[in-house]
Amino acid sequence: MATELPGTQRPGGRTERTRLAVLHATLDLLAERGYSELTVDAVAERSGVHKTTVYRRWKSAEGLVAAAFHLGTEDDWTAPDTGSLAGDLYEMLAELVGYFTTPGMRELPTASILAAFQADLAAGALHDFYQDRHARCAVITTRAIARGEAPSGTSPDEVVRAASGPIFYRLFISRESLDLDDARLAARSAAAAAAAGVFVF
Q: Give the pLDDT confidence of 87-116 residue by residue, as tens digits.
A: 999 999 999 999 999 999 999 999 999 999
Residue 2 pLDDT greater than 50, yes or no: no
Strand partners, 200: 154
Quick check: 163 and 186 in contact, CB under 8 A? yes
The more confidently predicted of residues 121 and 2 is: 121
Q: Give the pLDDT confidence of 145-176 residue by residue, as tens digits.
A: 999 999 999 999 999 999 999 999 999 999 99
Instruction: State the average pLDDT for the chain.
Output: 93
Nearest to 176 by CA among 86, 101, 90, 89: 101
Against a cut of 0.85, is the pTM above it?
A: yes
Q: What percent of the chain has pLDDT over 70?
A: 94
Confidence of residue 14 (pLDDT cuts 50, 70, 90): confident
Quick check: 177 and 87 in contact, CB under 8 A? no
**Phi, psi torsion values for 200, nearest 5 degrees:** -90, 125
- The answer for residues whose C-beta is within 8 angstroms of residue 69's C-beta and 6 or more apart is 112, 122, 125, 126, 128, 129
